[in-house]
Amino acid sequence: MLGTSTTDALSQLGQVTTYAAPIALGVWNSVSDFLIVLILIGVFVLFARYVGRGPFVGVIVSFYTAYAIYATFPYDSYLPSAPAITALATRVGIYLALVFFFYIIMRRVVVSDFLYIGSIGLILLSFLTAGFLLALAYHIFPVAPVYHFTPALDMLFASKTYFFFWFIAPAIGLFFLAH
């Protein structure tokens, strides 16, 4: 009797594995496709919770301001174009230096600590800002030779039309979510 019940149990376990493995693999593939988005959301939420909502708004506005200056940077031809990782690191480094510079200005002059963004709004703004940065990665920085995004992310960020919407999304989110 014991041998039969053990065989039946193993058979049932095999059936469960047959059904569960593809589902678990599908879930993992979906999560791993958007892992970079989830990491960016986590970084932004932790930053806003630790430093404050006002500085978080300053970071978002600094992303826009830095992009405006970066887009008109007249010395692009002097930046390295090969190897690909050096070209990417140089451009991202310039952009991040501009973000930091404008963040310091925003913190000193503009951003108030007397604003309210709820927890759901904070997560939504973090998502929109992560999308904004990924859209920049797709369309502005030379990421393609260094890293190939997943097809799921390509569907969301590769289109020029989507670039426009991801670009304005954090600003619209700030307009409606920051009080």
pLDDT at site 112: 64
Regarding whether 6 and 64 lie in a shared domain, the answer is no
pLDDT at site 4: 58
Regarding whether 21 and 78 lie in a shared domain, the answer is no
Regarding whether 46 and 26 lie in a shared domain, the answer is no
Regarding whether 95 and 22 lie in a shared domain, the answer is no
pLDDT at site 143: 86
Regarding whether 93 and 39 lie in a shared domain, the answer is yes
Query: Contact, 64 vs 168, CB < 8 A?
Result: no
Regarding whether 102 and 69 lie in a shared domain, the answer is yes
Measured between alpha carbons, how far is residue 147 from residues 34, 85, 138 in Å?
14, 9, 10
Query: Contact, 56 vs 48, CB < 8 A?
Result: yes
Regarding whether 99 and 115 lie in a shared domain, the answer is yes
Q: Tokens 């997943």: give the residue.
A: 150
pLDDT at site 11: 65
Question: Residue 86: how many CA atoms within 13 Å on its side-chain side?
Answer: 6
The predicted model scores a pTM of 0.76
**Tokens of residue 130, six digits:** 């992560």
The tens place of each residue's pLDDT in the chain, 179 residues long, gives: 455 566 666 666 566 666 666 666 666 666 777 888 899 999 999 999 998 888 899 999 999 999 999 988 888 888 888 888 999 999 999 999 999 999 998 887 776 667 788 899 999 999 999 999 999 989 988 888 888 888 888 888 888 889 999 999 999 998 998 88
Q: Which of 46, 72, 48 is nearest to 60 (CA)?
A: 48
Structurally, the chain folds into a number of domains equal to 2
Regarding whether 132 and 50 lie in a shared domain, the answer is yes
Q: In terms of residue numbers, what domain contains 25?
A: 1-33
Distant-in-sequence, close-in-space partners of 52: CB < 8 Å, separation ≥ 6: 113
Regarding whether 20 and 62 lie in a shared domain, the answer is no
Regarding whether 22 and 98 lie in a shared domain, the answer is no
pLDDT at site 113: 63
Regarding whether 155 and 67 lie in a shared domain, the answer is yes
* Dihedral, CA of residue 22, residue 149, residue 135 and residue 54, to nearest 10: 70
Regarding whether 96 and 59 lie in a shared domain, the answer is yes
Distant-in-sequence, close-in-space partners of 73: CB < 8 Å, separation ≥ 6: 94
